[in-house]
């Protein structure tokens, strides 16, 4: 499958060089080219590229402004003459940060890194879709489960569970008044809980939306869910797509 990309840079020569370097990758399709941030926001949300090459300093809007405005979330490789934005770029989950003048071998490495990340995360999405299709929806979900602590089994109302966290082959269940360790994997527990209430935000995390305070959106489109008790969890790219379907 081809990787679609958009080149975003206010310098024509820089865009031409990127096109030249990308010609070495027949499986990458350039579907757009922008010289301004506002144009980039429009094109990214309209064309939904897998990958963007993004300059930081542009008239009107910086590259970080672009990431703050877009809805569609592509993989990002920064291409800029300024090295002092690198830390901020990686905080925004950029695939790579390339300094101008671009070195072709270093560019090749960055593109291969983006393709590898796409391959891995696309696999996660395919696994998720497969799981959705192969498991018929339950007619009903558990309202109480039995959890063990010391030598006792406690009757725990499912509605009291705030979040679940995977820990190896076990799952840590955090409820309103206590924590419990289940020998069941998080995937097995997910199957018995109502998906309208228990939302998976990461391979290792499920939250009860009734205890969700807010969702914080980052510049690169990444998300962090914040619970009412102050606990925060990152939202992986796979599950962010599911959350966005609930946005009205």
> 163 with 205: CB under 8 angstroms?
yes
Average pLDDT over the chain, rounded to an integer: 86
Could you say which DSSP state residue 28 is in?
Answer: E
CB half-sphere exposure, 113, CA atoms < 13 A:
15
Return the number of other C-beta atoms located less than 10 Å from residue 177's C-beta.
6
SS3 240: helix
Residues of the chain with CATH 2.40.50.1020: 144-244
Q: Which residue would you say has higher pLDDT here, 235 or 13?
A: 13
Question: Residue 25 and residue 233: Cα distance in Å, rounded?
Answer: 36
Q: 0.75 exceeded by the pTM? A: no
Residues of the chain with CATH 3.40.50.2300: 3-133
Structure tokens at 32: 């757009």
Q: What is the CATH number of domain 3-133?
A: 3.40.50.2300
- At 120 the pLDDT is 67
- Residue 68's pLDDT band, with cuts at 50, 70 and 90, is confident
List pLDDT tens digits, range 72-119. 889 999 999 888 888 777 777 788 999 999 999 999 999 998 888 787
Question: Residue 235 and residue 216: Cα distance in Å, rounded?
Answer: 10
Q: Which fold has domain 144-244?
A: OB fold (Dihydrolipoamide Acetyltransferase, E2P) (2.40.50)
List pLDDT tens digits, range 162-174. 999 988 778 999 9
Tell me what the mean pLDDT of segment 28-44 comes to.
Answer: 95
| C-alpha dihedral, 9 to 10 to 13 to 15, nearest 10° | 30
Structure tokens at 42: 């429009």
Lowest mean pLDDT segment, chosen from 20-34, 128-142, 206-220, 221-235: 128-142
Those residues whose C-beta lies under 8 Å from the C-beta of residue 41, and which sit 6 or more positions away, are 61, 66, 69, 70
Angle in degrees, CA 32, 85, 75, rounded to 5: 35
């Amino acid at each position: 499958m081809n990787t679609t990309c958009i080149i975003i840079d206010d310098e024509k020569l820089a865009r031409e060089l990127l096109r030249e370097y990308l010609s070495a990758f027949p499986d990458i399709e350039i579907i757009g080219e922008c010289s301004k941030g506002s144009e980039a926001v429009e094109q990214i949300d309209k064309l939904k590229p897998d990958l963007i090459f993004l300059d930081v300093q542009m008239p009107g809007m910086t590259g970080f402004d672009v990431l703050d405005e877009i809805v569609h979330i592509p993989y990002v490789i920064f291409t800029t003459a300024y090295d002092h934005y690198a830390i901020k770029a990686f905080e925004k989950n950029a695939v790579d940060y390339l300094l101008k003048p671009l070195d072709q071998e270093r560019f090749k490495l960055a593109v291969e890194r983006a393709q590898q990340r796409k391959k891995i995360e696309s696999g996660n999405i395919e696994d998720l879709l497969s799981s959705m299709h192969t498991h018929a929806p339950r007619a009903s979900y558990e309202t109480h489960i039995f959890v063990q602590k010391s030598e006792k089994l406690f009757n725990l109302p499912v509605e009291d569970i705030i979040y679940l966290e995977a820990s190896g082959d076990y799952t840590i269940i955090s409820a309103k008044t206590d924590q419990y360790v289940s020998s069941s994997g998080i995937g097995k527990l997910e199957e018995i809980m109502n998906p309208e209430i228990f939302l998976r935000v990461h391979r290792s995390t499920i939250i009860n939306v009734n205890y969700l305070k807010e969702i914080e959106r980052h510049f690169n489109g990444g998300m962090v869910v914040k619970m009412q008790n102050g606990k925060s969890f990152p939202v992986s790219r796979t599950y962010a797509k599911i959350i966005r379907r609930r946005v009205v």
